[in-house]
Amino acid sequence: MTTRRELLKAGTAGALALGFPAIVKAQSAAIKIGHLTPMTGFLGALGVYAVKGIQIAAEEINAAGGVMGRKLDVMSEDSVNPATASTKAQRMFEQDKVDVLMGEINSASAKTIMQVADRNKRLFMQIGARSDVLRGKDCNRYTFHVDIPVTVMVNAAGQALAREGYIKGKKIYFLTSDYLFGHDLAKAAKAFCAANGGTVVGDELTATDTTDFSPFLLKIRQAKPDLVATNLGGNQVTNFVKQYAEFGLPFQVAGFNLNTADAWAAGDGNLAGIWPTVWHHELDTPGSKAFVAKFRKIHGQPPENHAWIEYVSLKVMAQAMNETKSVDTEKLIKYFESGAQFDLLKKRNGYFRSWDHQMIQEAYPFSVKPKGQAKDKWDFLKFGAAVPAPDQPLESINPPKSANACVL
Amino acid sequence: MQLLFLLEQVVNGLVLGGYYLLIALGLSLIFSVGGVVNLAHGAFYALGAYVSLEIARRLGFGAGVALSPVVVALLGIAFERFILRRFYTADPILSLLVTFGLALVAEQAIRIAWGAAPLPASMPQAFKGAVVLGDFLFSKYRLFLLAVVATVLAGIWLLLNKTAFGRVVRAGIQRPDMVAALGIRLQPYMTTIVMLGVGMAALGGALFAPIVIVHPAMGAEILTVAFVVVVIGGLGSFWGVVLAALLVGVVRGITTHFVPAASEASMYLLMFLVLMFRPRGLLGERIEKFE
């Protein structure tokens, strides 16, 4: 028969057994990373790759023992729209007690999350949004930007276009997405055309939910430009590319924004022209090759550039935490501002510029392989050499301090 | 010259209106016969696109466009028989909720089945390019689309106006109780109407797949436009929907010509104006059971 005393003993032992691991665990509690990215809406397709990329990085880091012996716990959520993004960011800091925030693709949502980070004086690594103003007029000292700004995209595609003779003395027609990112892109593209002797003969704004471009295509036909250059975002690019092929207009087409996912979604034989990208899966470096192989093994297809950037961003964050032995916002800012070098799986290492917190790195132009050369449905893009050339400083394609309104 | 450009936009708008029609007409038919605003209509459009790609991969583009509406229409029969039928006489809010819920379920189901990333889709090479008639430029593919839409439209009109089937349906719209008193069960008619409406939406999806991005949320995008068209035309009116679809296309084209940034907003403005002066829509009929 069990006595009362025995019961008490067993109970205490049980409580101790349960209680001890809790204390041990508390000492090495996971480092919480709040991760916001659009998973629905016109950028949702890109966000899906973003989540896949950051997951692979987290699994790799955790399998290797985590950061300072603590596991990384990445909480990914749909940021939906700018208002929801800001609410969720505040909640992640306050209730979920995340150590740092990462993510975003939508420039407008990134802007609201940056404001939350600034108010809370906490770190936000802005991974995928490219608007210039985020690292210009709207910059703040709690935000670091990994993806290339639109000026770099314009320079990457623009230099290739200029080399092929599509800018100097030519009539250029713009089609621009009517939101923060599109406006920024158009501004940078106009500056590039002006500096390189091209004339912008038209600039049409289109709403982000435009699915039918036929009225715009008719206007382009009337304008008879030498080059149609698009400043579009997300699904719009795919819709435009498909319909441009449908109408078969004779003018050279190009664009200053196209993600690999948009290109894949366009379908066989629809894409043409010259475009920029921040990374591509055919990059010939050991790091990129290993990442592409791993991603292919898990998901059965090559990674999109958003998968890559989320992957390296978490690695960059982990490196900073390991080096500073801390998750403290101030210490991490100091480390990032120190000019520390990061392996971005490219030929040259990247680093954050201290005065605008922009990751400085290589970019690439790409065009389309001639018909019949593609190995499979992921393989019709032809990637150009890295910009800037190896003998040029990495910073040369970025907006210089004189052209950037950022004051931290 | 300026006038000619404008005329080109008007003609292009008419073509564009033609393909809003495929979606809007089914939505309108299901509403007028069953009294149900089918918020899941866009989901059938999306399914039509995905199923057509699935078929096209094996049997070619033509088979995809032809068979996908049939497959989805069969789903439509199940949708009517097991879900919609329970809500004809219920509070409209319930059918709104149930079809809205279904639209969400369908979108997620597509995401699970085909992934969240958009699927690539192209048209046969022969359809690519444009033809120039006089001073007007037409995409070959859209002319083909227009021909298909016109055929479907004529078929539906004949069915509703020249057949015994159509007489019962029209009587059922105005006086369901009288039809019942004459000993005619409306249910099989309703099943057929839903099947046709859903099939048209799927045909729309299959036909649009080569020119717009194919992704899980595409149904929600088109539903808004279709709904605006139906409201402008007047719920339940065949020619009202036709007129409204063309009008929306034309207004969009003209707006793009003058104020491109407002091209997407123009149809909502049009809806606002029409409802101000004709709350029942352009050709909306007085249907006793909805008054």
DSSP A168-209: TT-EEEEEEESSHHHHHHHHHHHHHHHHTT-EEEEEEEE-TT
pLDDT score, position A276: 94
Judged against a pLDDT cut of 80, whether residue A338 lies above it is answered with yes
Whether residue A343 sits in one domain with residue A264: no
Q: What is the mean pLDDT of residues A213-232?
A: 92
Per-residue confidence at A12, pLDDT binned at 50, 70, 90? low
pLDDT tens digits for range B64-82: 999 999 999 999 999 999 9
Instruction: Put the strands of the sheet holding A381-383 in their side by side order.
Output: A275-277, A364-368, A381-383
pLDDT score, position A43: 84
Q: Tokens 């030498």 — which residue?
A: A226
Judged against a pLDDT cut of 80, whether residue A274 lies above it is answered with yes
What tokens appear for B195 in the block?
A: 């099947």
B-contacting residues in A 362-381 (Cβ below 8 Å): 377
How much of chain A exceeds pLDDT 70, in percent? 93
To 10 degrees, the CA torsion angle through A38, A41, A43, A46? 70
Per-residue confidence at A4, pLDDT binned at 50, 70, 90? low
Per-residue confidence at A255, pLDDT binned at 50, 70, 90? very high
The upper half-sphere exposure of residue B101, i.e. CA atoms within 13 Å in the direction of its Cβ, equals 8
CB nearest to A377's CB, from B15, B120, B213: B120
Per-residue confidence at A378, pLDDT binned at 50, 70, 90? confident
Residue A3 belongs to a domain: no
Split into its structural domains, chain A has a count of 2
SS3 category, A261: helix
Residue A235 C-alpha from the chain's centroid: 16
Per-residue confidence at A373, pLDDT binned at 50, 70, 90? confident
Residue A398 belongs to a domain: no
Residue B42: domain span: 2-290
Q: Is A405 left (phi over 0), alpha (psi -120 to 50) or beta?
A: alpha
B-contacting residues in A 221-240 (Cβ below 8 Å): 221-222, 235, 238-239
Whether residue A220 sits in one domain with residue A86: no
Which of A19-23, A248-252, B30-34, B261-265 is the most confident on average?
Answer: A248-252
CB-CB neighbors (< 8 A) of A39 in chain B = 116
Judged against a pLDDT cut of 50, whether residue A8 lies above it is answered with yes
How far is B211 from B269, CA to CA, in rounded Å? 26
Cis amide leading into A388 (omega within 30): yes
For residue A67, give the DSSP letter: B
Residue A222: domain span: 151-277+364-391
Q: Contact A181/A131 with Cβ under 8 angstroms?
A: yes
For residue B85, give the DSSP letter: G
For residue A403, give the DSSP letter: G
CB-CB neighbors (< 8 A) of A219 in chain B = 5, 256-257, 260
Q: Say whether residue A194 is in contact with chain B using an 8 A CB cutoff.
A: no
Whether residue A242 sits in one domain with residue A324: no
For residue A299, give the DSSP letter: H
CB pairs under 8 A between A and B: 128
Minimum distance, in Å, between the CA of residue A398 and any CA atom of chain B: 30
The upper half-sphere exposure of residue A257, i.e. CA atoms within 13 Å in the direction of its Cβ, equals 33
CB-CB neighbors (< 8 A) of A41 in chain B = 217
Whether residue A372 sits in one domain with residue A223: yes
To 10 degrees, the CA torsion angle through A327, A331, A335, A338? 170
CB-CB neighbors (< 8 A) of A178 in chain B = 261
Q: What is the mean pLDDT of residues A9-16?
A: 52
Per-residue confidence at A103, pLDDT binned at 50, 70, 90? very high
Residue A15 belongs to a domain: no
Whether residue A300 sits in one domain with residue A314: yes
Q: Tokens 């200053």 — which residue?
A: A256
Per-residue confidence at A254, pLDDT binned at 50, 70, 90? very high
C-alpha distances (whole Å) from A133 to each of A105, A184, A361 are 14, 7, 18
pLDDT tens digits for range A157-182: 999 999 999 999 999 999 999 988 89
pLDDT tens digits for range A350-369: 999 999 999 999 999 999 88
Judged against a pLDDT cut of 80, whether residue A5 lies above it is answered with no
How much of chain A exceeds pLDDT 90, in percent? 74
Instruction: Report the CATH number that the domain containing residue A175 is assigned in CATH.
Output: 3.40.50.2300
Pick the residue with more confidence: A187 or B286?
Answer: A187
Bridge-based pairing of strands A351-352 and A171-177 is: unpaired
Q: Contact B127/A59 with Cβ under 8 angstroms?
A: no
Residue A83 belongs to a domain: yes
Q: Contact A46/A304 with Cβ under 8 angstroms?
A: yes
How far is A217 from B211, CA to CA, in rounded Å? 13
End-to-end CA distance of chain B: 49
**CB contact (8 A) between residue A248 and residue B128:** yes
Q: Contact A153/A363 with Cβ under 8 angstroms?
A: yes
pLDDT score, position A302: 94
What tokens appear for A93 in the block?
A: 């800091």
Among the listed ranges A16-20, A63-67, A100-104, B14-18, which one has the minimum average pLDDT value? A16-20
Residue A400 belongs to a domain: no
pLDDT score, position B1: 59
**CB contact (8 A) between residue B117 and residue A49:** yes
Nearest C-alpha neighbor of A308 from the set A46, A94, A97, A22: A46
CB-CB neighbors (< 8 A) of A216 in chain B = 256, 260
Split into its structural domains, chain B has a count of 1
Cα–Cα–Cα angle for A276, A249, B134, nearest 5°?
A: 165
CB-CB neighbors (< 8 A) of A267 in chain B = 120-122, 210
What tokens appear for A194 in the block?
A: 């002006």
Residue A218 belongs to a domain: yes
Among the listed ranges A65-74, A193-202, A232-241, which one has the minimum average pLDDT value? A232-241
Whether residue A167 sits in one domain with residue A265: yes
Whether residue A317 sits in one domain with residue A382: no
SS3 category, B90: coil
Whether residue A250 sits in one domain with residue A352: no
Q: What is the mean pLDDT of residues A97-126?
A: 96
CB-CB neighbors (< 8 A) of B139 in chain A = 214, 243, 246-248
Whether residue A328 sits in one domain with residue A197: no
How far is B56 from A28, CA to CA, in rounded Å? 54
For residue B150, how many other CB atoms are within 10 A of its CB?
12
**CB contact (8 A) between residue B129 and residue A214:** no
Q: Contact B147/B156 with Cβ under 8 angstroms?
A: no
- Is residue A71 classed exposed, middle or buried when 0-12, 13-18 and 19+ CB atoms within 10 A define those classes? middle
How far is A194 from A199, CA to CA, in rounded Å? 7
Whether residue A374 sits in one domain with residue A264: yes
For residue B142, give the chain A residue with the closest CA: A246
Whether residue A155 sits in one domain with residue A90: no
Q: What is the mean pLDDT of chain A?
A: 90
Ranges of chain B with pLDDT below 50:
none
**CB contact (8 A) between residue B129 and residue A212:** no
Strand partners, A72: A31
pLDDT score, position A6: 59
Q: Is the Cα dihedral B12, B18, B24, B29 positive or negative? A: positive
Instruction: Report the CATH number that the domain containing residue B138 is assigned in CATH.
Output: 1.10.3470
Residue A310 belongs to a domain: yes
**CB contact (8 A) between residue B117 and residue A261:** yes
To 10 degrees, the CA torsion angle through A329, A333, A336, A338? -140
Strand partners, A364: A277
Q: What is the mean pLDDT of residues A214-242?
A: 91
